[in-house]
Chain A
Amino acid sequence: EAGVAQSPRYKIIEKRQSVAFWCNPISGHATLYWYQQILGQGPKLLIQFQNNGVVDDSQLPKDRFSAERLKGVDSTLKIQPAKLEDSAVYLCASSSTGIGYTFGSGTRLTVV
């Protein structure tokens, strides 16, 4: 089966600019997650979707981060405006009940 697709693979932006990341989960997976992974740390959950509804966004910095999952399939994560501390790898994962997680390869964001 095809894996979780993410794009772009790398992105460099200046602070205060905006950026968007895209994720296409595995077909049929109802649950989609966005994680942030800062260098040297484990991934940290930002938001969890069940179909097109938000299940948990308690760790999403909502003043600058937003995410949506239209039609319960693809998802986008946006940062506006970006700060230096947002430099990280942004990972998307999908799962379905009874099936484990599958992660994408991530988008590496560098804010300069």
Chain B
Amino acid sequence: DAKTTQPTSMDCAEGRAANLPCNHSTISGNEYVYWYRQIHSQGPQYIIHGLKNNETNEMASLIITEDRKSSTLILPHATLRDTAVYYCIVRVYGTGGNTPLVFGKGTRLSVIA
């Protein structure tokens, strides 16, 4: 079962920041927080991941609370093309191999013109 809780859906006005929350209160010390998104009729796409520090890349920023029990994905200037289902996943990231991603139902983000 997924170890995260996300709102079912959210709306965001085009050009505004989209802030997608995720609760992961049972996260373990060796688990990272990953975000993927799935645009209609495509496979999930990697966005960003982090352990405890805030992370930023060309797509988004990830803010993780100090106790690591929740996080927020920020799309700074949402466009219509950001309309998708966003999945927050906790996953062990180690050198011993590849642990599978376990998906929940995610948050359906609708960016509105």
Contacts and interface: CB of A to CB of B under 8 A. Distances in A.
B95 interface: yes
B100 A56 contact: yes
Given A97-B95, A100-B49, A43 B100 contact: no
Interface string A34-67: 0100001111110010100001100000000000
Q: Identify whether the interface residues of A are mostly helix, strand, loop, or mixed.
A: strand
Size class of the contact patch on chain B: 20 to 34
B80 interface: no
A103 interface: yes
Interface stretch (A11-19, A69-77, A79-87, A88-96): A88-96
B21 interface: no
Contact of A48 (B43, B45, B87, B100): B100
A25 interface: no
B29 interface: no
B98 interface: yes
Contacts of A40: 105
Q: Tell me whether chain B's interface is mostly helix, strand or loop, or mixed.
A: loop
Contacts of A110: none
B106 A103 contact: no
Interface residues of A, number: 28
A100 B46 contact: yes
B30 interface: no
B100 A105 contact: no
A21 interface: no
B106 A42 contact: yes
A103 B43 contact: yes
Contacts of B42: 105-106
A24 interface: no
B44 A96 contact: no
Interface of A: 4, 30-31, 33, 35, 40-45, 48, 50, 55-56, 91, 93, 95-98, 100-106
Closest 4 pairs (CB-CB, A-B): A103-B43, A42-B103, A31-B98, A100-B46
